Amino acid sequence: MATTQDRQRQSERLEELWRRPSAELERTRVDPLPSQRKASRESRNWSHLLLVAWVASVAALYIFEPSPTDPAATPLWGTIVLLAFTYALFASIVGLAGRRPWGLGASALTGGLGMVIAGACAATGHHAGAWWIVEGLAFTGLAAGSLTALRARR
């Protein structure tokens, strides 16, 4: 009996909502996804920090990069990885600057490609000394920050 009465009340409530003007419905509307809005705010906070970190890191690596030992010795796969890194970096900057949720994923991908570049630098002897360690640390930190931001967003 109680179930029938509950259904009757629900049915009456729905009919009442159906008869209301749309302006009244707007005032009574509930936010269906509050956790998604919170995640969006968190990704915005991380986006700003990561954008500054990417620009500062890439600028510092560019300024302090030693000259290559033999620029002509770069293999084709190294050039392809560098091209992929460049496109991923551009996507990361656009995504982070626009505070898009996919910007964090692009930033993590770019950090991973940067670590591959550091490994390639060590494997090919592109730069003399331990420059590949500096690159590796910078890109590992950026990738870790991006992955932390992605985890905090969920």
| Residues 134, 60 within the same domain | yes
The domain of 5 spans: 1-30
Per-residue pLDDT tens digits for 54-83 = 999 999 999 999 888 877 777 888 889 999
Residue 128 lies in a domain: yes
Same domain, 139 and 83: yes
Residue 63 corresponds to which tokens in the numbers above?
């300024």
Residue 77 located in a structural domain: yes
Structural tokens at position 82: 């560098």
pLDDT in tens, 96-151: 999 888 999 999 999 999 999 999 888 888 888 889 999 999 999 999 999 999 88
60 and 100 inside one domain: yes
- Alpha carbons 101 and 147: distance in angstroms, whole number: 12
Provide the sign of the torsion angle of the four alpha carbons 115, 118, 123, 129, taken in this order: negative
Q: Which two tokens stand for residue 125?
A: 């002897």
Lookup: tokens for 71:
């620029």
Query: Do 52 and 107 belong to one domain?
Result: yes
How far apart (Å, rounded) are the C-alpha atoms in residues 119 and 53? 21
Say what the pTM is: 0.70
Residue bearing the bigger pLDDT, 7 or 116: 116
Q: Note whether 66 and 102 are same-domain residues.
A: yes
Phi and psi angles of residue 75, each rounded to the nearest 5 degrees, phi first? -70, 165
Can you read off the two tokens belonging to residue 108?
């993590």
25 and 84 share a domain? no
Pair (80, 148) in one structural domain: yes
* 20 inside domain: yes
Q: Is residue 35 part of a domain?
A: no
Q: What are the structure tokens assigned to 109, written together?
A: 């991908």
Nearest CA to 135 out of 151, 150, 148, 123 is that of 123
Query: Are 21 and 60 part of one and the same domain?
Result: no
